[in-house]
Structure 1
Amino acid sequence: MQTYLTLEDVSIKLGNRSRSSIYKDIEAGRLPKPMKLGARIYWPEDELEAHLREQRGSGAA
């Protein structure tokens, strides 16, 4: 079953990054774009994990 992370979950996972920093990372391509459901945004956990692994592997993170 797919798990979805909220902005707060992503912030914690990234070491308590601020909301504005997360949005800047999305714009710069350092984080995948979230999906919007209603008024909230979510990241599929596996997609975020895969993206972070790829970033670490390329030395860009």
Structure 2
Amino acid sequence: MRDQIIKYFENEKSINEDALHAYDDPIKESSEEIRIMREREAIKLRDRIYELKRHIEVIKRMYPNE
């Protein structure tokens, strides 16, 4: 059960990391409003990744691999 939960969270983290990479390349011909929206979305993704990492660590510590 522990490994399935960790695998799920790691998969979700990977999906969010892939989405974050889409924001790495700046759009050359975009308005300031679009740049601000992209940065907000990137911040949200970074926060989700951070939270998923925390959840993974908590599960690993609560249920050590024996």
Q: What is the TM-score when the length of structure 1 is the normalising length?
A: 0.35
Q: Compare CA radii of gyration and give the structure with the larger one.
A: 2
Structure with more relative contact order (C-alpha pairs < 8 Å, separation 6 or more): 2
More strand by share: 1
